[in-house]
Structure 1
Amino acid sequence: MTITTTSGNETIVDSTASTTMGALILGLVFLLGLPGNIFVMWSILARARKQNITTLLILNLAIADGSLMALTPFFIIYLVLKTWMFGNVMCKVLFYLCLLNMYASIYLITIMSLYRVLAIRWPHKVRIVTGQKTVMRALGVMWVLVMVASIPAMIYRKKTEVSTRLVCDSFHDTKKDVMIQYMLELVIGFCIPYSIIVISYIGILRRIQQTRFGRRVRSEKLILAIVVTFCVFWLPYHVINMVQVRDTWLSILHSKLTVAAAFAFISSCANPVLYFFAGKSYIRREGMEFMARLFERTGLDSATRKTHNMQTFCRLYCDYTGDNSNTVRKCIDFCYLT
């Protein structure tokens, strides 16, 4: 992840307007995001009466986002003082953790989307492939993979002195190294997961249109809002990263890099806000436990179980009443459609 970049003897912290705006955005993100994500974790761990796959994924997402929020004071100090005062090791570690959070967040959302499309399109099979142990293993593998994928941030990032200022920036030996780093971030952190997410939601929306009941539309709107929010806040960062590979554009984008990077941080504090508005109807009845009740209702586990039982009954009825194979087949198709 890049918050600073150098062009000649200039650094991005030389721009007072961009550093001031970046510090203000990060300050707001910290004030909203850290307590918000802590509240989400508390709601799931301490107040949720039952745990399901969706709450487990949301818990991991809150841990990833909350961890990033805990790092923002370092970047606020960097932008305010316009010099990096935390040493070379912290320079590498902090930006490594930022990239790790980006990958973890998007792949948690990807897993969430895949789980929901399985639960909605194939509810009679989802329990076989998405058991609690299977999902835990998938999450473990995901965390290991994002840790490995974030290593380039530690390789290219270092503290150095530019124009009497200490900066923490990415430095590359060749133009090819620049392309490799930013292409990896774009492909691994955006193109691949978002392709999976878009395909998943096309399947979800088609299924909802085919069904006769809209009970799940509300929960799908919440997850879709999380997906869209992540895209809106992170897309400018990826676009600028790719454009800045061309030296001729650096002077134009120079003052915008801090703001774009700080803007991306908003995605990590936006989810608790989305949960609040999605669960506001529970506040009067549930009080401080409103978010726990929201997550319980958002989970597909119980709904999937009920759907599976109804489809089993429907199929038995088809076998009993059908007078020929074509009629039975059409009846069974209707069961799994509704």
Structure 2
Amino acid sequence: MKKNTTVHEDDSAVNNNFSTTVGALILSLVFLLGVPGNFFIVWSILARIKRRSVTTLLILNLAFADGFIMVLTIFFIIYLAKKKWIFGVAMCKGLFYLCNTNMYASIFLITLMSVHRMVAVLFPQKLSYLVTRKIVRRVIGGMWMLVMVIAIPSLVFRNVIEVSDDETNQKKLVCESNHTQARHVRFQYSLETVSGFILPYAVIITCYVLILKRLRQTKFRRHVRSEKLILAIVVMFGLFWLPYHVINMVEVAAAWYPEDSSTRELLELVHSSCRAVTSALAFISSCANPVLYTFAGKSYIKKNGFAFMAKLFEGTSSEQTENKKSRLMVKNGIRSNDSNNSLPTREQTATPEVS
């Protein structure tokens, strides 16, 4: 694989000392919190929950994806600390490909959670027909195949290149995007932002607008714990990934200007100075979910100890049974006084659960 020797250090994402230092510190914190946190969730679900609901399956996949990518942050910490790439071309391409795959998987799983909540609130009596564990497993499998395909540009346009080090006046290797044409820049980063942020969030916002509209029409207007938890996951993901996608759009904008344009130089300076920090911030979203779950299940910690996470999720195992009961009640003409204007009975209880 040929390496480009004409790139100057100022064009590299690891050229800024402050940015790389802050990025390395953020990733170190993410590694310490994210690895044990996400794998604790995986263990809690696999070892302690026999009947897994739709949302539990989605959370299991989300925790697995986040936990796996957290393990890989050690390579990026070393990269930012040393400000040069020492792991070779294959690792350069593979690690960034896995990062993009995780980005798409996380937002798509969160989108699926939001769609499921919308169906549960708007069509509670039809939920068992529309959303079954078998269908969800197929959808999740298809989603993983999709994210592996749409993340391919990060594999194609990433390479190890040589840059000139201003401090030592020598060459060093960095793992950077290596676009030969401006249209490749516009294609890759526009694809990331549109398919990995704008479109999923449009679906999520639509789902929650419909959910809130339905809640306002019901007699029981209190937001249940599961609604708040999933909404918190959505907000957290958006806050930490937004700066990354803003920098993507800065790079896309720079690609529209001629190479000798002062505007392009300014935009590329902003991009190269901020990329390390915004990428590190994006990783925080992968370690934030265990913290959210801990706060949501804090009432169980004293009573259940390390089993509190399973206790938080175990209420979802009754989801299918209760939906079948609701369906039978409707079929037999049996309705509670509030069944026409309220959420399902399970969601009127005070028991904290994710469903």
Return the TM-score normalized by structure 1. 0.89
Task: Give the C-alpha shift of residue 252 in structure 1.
Answer: 2.9
Can you list the C-alpha shifts for 1:216-275, whole angstroms capped at 9, x where unaligned?
621100000000000000011001111123123111343211011000000000000000
Per the alignment, residue 252 of structure 1 pairs with 270
Per the alignment, residue 29 of structure 2 pairs with 28
8 Å CA contact 1:12–1:257 kept in 2: the answer is yes
Per the alignment, residue 38 of structure 2 pairs with 37
Equivalent residue letter for 1:155: V
The 5-angstrom pairing of residues 68-217 of structure 1 reads 68-163=69-164, 164-213=171-220, 217=224
Task: Give the C-alpha shift of residue 49 in structure 1.
Answer: 4.5
CA distance in 1, matches of 2:316, 2:197: 25
8 Å CA contact 1:100–1:147 kept in 2: the answer is yes
8 Å CA contact 1:7–1:251 kept in 2: the answer is no
Per the alignment, residue 340 of structure 2 pairs with 336
CA distance in 2, matches of 1:48, 1:15: 47
Equivalent residue letter for 2:200: P
Per the alignment, residue 294 of structure 1 pairs with 312
Per the alignment, residue 295 of structure 2 pairs with 277
8 Å CA contact 2:158–2:176 kept in 1: the answer is yes
Task: Give the C-alpha shift of residue 139 in structure 1.
Answer: 0.6
Displaced runs of 4+ in structure 1, greater than 6 A?
A: none
CA distance in 2, matches of 1:232, 1:335: 37
Can you list the C-alpha shifts for 1:136-165, whole angstroms capped at 9, x where unaligned?
110110000000000000100000111112
Task: Give the C-alpha shift of residue 25 in structure 1.
Answer: 0.2
CA distance in 2, matches of 1:205, 1:249: 40
Task: Give the C-alpha shift of residue 214 in structure 1.
Answer: 5.0
Residue aligned with 1:69, SS: helix
Per the alignment, residue 325 of structure 1 pairs with none
Equivalent residue letter for 2:270: I
Return the TM-score normalized by structure 2. 0.85
Task: Give the C-alpha shift of residue 48 in structure 1.
Answer: 2.0
8 Å CA contact 2:15–2:272 kept in 1: the answer is no
8 Å CA contact 2:13–2:176 kept in 1: the answer is no
CA distance in 1, matches of 2:321, 2:230: 18
CA distance in 1, matches of 2:100, 2:236: 18
Number of residue pairs aligned between Structure 1 and Structure 2: 318
CA distance in 1, matches of 2:145, 2:37: 26
Task: Give the C-alpha shift of residue 291 in structure 1.
Answer: 0.7
Match of 2:232 among 225, 228, 245: 225
Per the alignment, residue 239 of structure 1 pairs with 246
8 Å CA contact 2:7–2:162 kept in 1: the answer is no
Residue aligned with 1:213, SS: coil
CA distance in 2, matches of 1:251, 1:7: 14
8 Å CA contact 2:124–2:323 kept in 1: the answer is yes
Identity of aligned residues (%): 54
CA distance in 2, matches of 1:156, 1:271: 31
8 Å CA contact 1:237–1:264 kept in 2: the answer is yes
The 5-angstrom pairing of residues 256-267 of structure 1 reads 256-267=274-285
CA distance in 2, matches of 1:186, 1:119: 29
Can you list the C-alpha shifts for 1:304-333, whole angstroms capped at 9, x where unaligned?
4454455456x4569xxxxxxxxxxxx9xx
CA distance in 1, matches of 2:215, 2:323: 14
Unaligned runs of 5+ in 1: 1-5, 319-330
8 Å CA contact 1:208–1:217 kept in 2: the answer is no
Can you list the C-alpha shifts for 1:275-324, whole angstroms capped at 9, x where unaligned?
000000111121111111111235654554454455456x4569xxxxxx
CA distance in 2, matches of 1:31, 1:81: 20
Can you list the C-alpha shifts for 1:153-187, whole angstroms capped at 9, x where unaligned?
01000001111120101111111110000110011
CA distance in 2, matches of 1:126, 1:133: 13
8 Å CA contact 2:65–2:105 kept in 1: the answer is yes
Equivalent residue letter for 2:226: S
CA distance in 2, matches of 1:237, 1:218: 30
Residue aligned with 1:158, SS: strand
299-308 or 188-197, which moves further after superposition?
299-308
CA distance in 1, matches of 2:244, 2:214: 33
CA 1:317–1:61: 2 relative to 1, 3 Å: closer
8 Å CA contact 2:20–2:277 kept in 1: the answer is yes
Task: Give the C-alpha shift of residue 9 in structure 1.
Answer: 3.8
Can you list the C-alpha shifts for 1:109-129, whole angstroms capped at 9, x where unaligned?
111111111111101111112
CA distance in 1, matches of 2:172, 2:214: 57
CA distance in 1, matches of 2:145, 2:27: 28
